[in-house]
Amino acid sequence: MAAAVFILISYLIGSLSFAVIVSRAFGLPSPRTYGSRNPGATNVLRTGSKPAALLTLLGDAGKGWLAVAAAGRFAPQYGVDANALAACAIAVFLGHLFPVFFGFKGGKGVATAAGILLAINVWLGAATLVTFLVIAFFFRYVSLASIIAAAFAPCYTFYLSGLSAALAPVILISALLVWRHKANILRLAAGTERRIGERKATPAAPG
């Protein structure tokens, strides 16, 4: 019973979509109505509000960290084992992807996944973040950096902790994150994915 409670709380924490919450607080349009329609920090940045985008990023990462760190801190006192703690990590991520408070229409989960990895192991989170930054710097695609970082996360987990209880949730979270980027993968293959700093082309005026 205690395990189910912690898993449910983790899911509810994940269901707090900070892109929507912050946008409302700043008087911005809903991130689900413009750009990629993805409720995430990158899309919020398209409004031109850097503070709103930063708060969205910190909020989404923070909730992933909070759910896993809190479960790891308090759940063992109630007899919750490592497998249930792993389920909490999956639950908070699923909450972000399918938030009960926002019609089960959530974001892609990059920031939330980063927070989860940092809570599992700070070196795991740091290694994955460095991978993201290196790919983003050299190739200037946020989506490509997210996908490659997700692919490497299970490898880093195995290197740091072997066949521990953390490996299965990291593999599942990474797979879900890549799946959520399926449209980006198609655009990358077609050469139509926008790079960092690249503005959307506007159609030429009729002459």
Q: How confident is the model at residue 93 (pLDDT cuts 50, 70, 90)?
A: very high
Mean pLDDT of the chain: 90
Average pLDDT over residues 53-59: 94
Of 136, 124, 134, nearest in space to 169 by CA: 124
Is residue 156 predicted with pLDDT exceeding 60? yes
Burial of 77 (0-12, 13-18, 19+ CB in 10 A): exposed
Q: Helix axis angle, 182-190 relative to 167-180, nearest 10°? A: 50
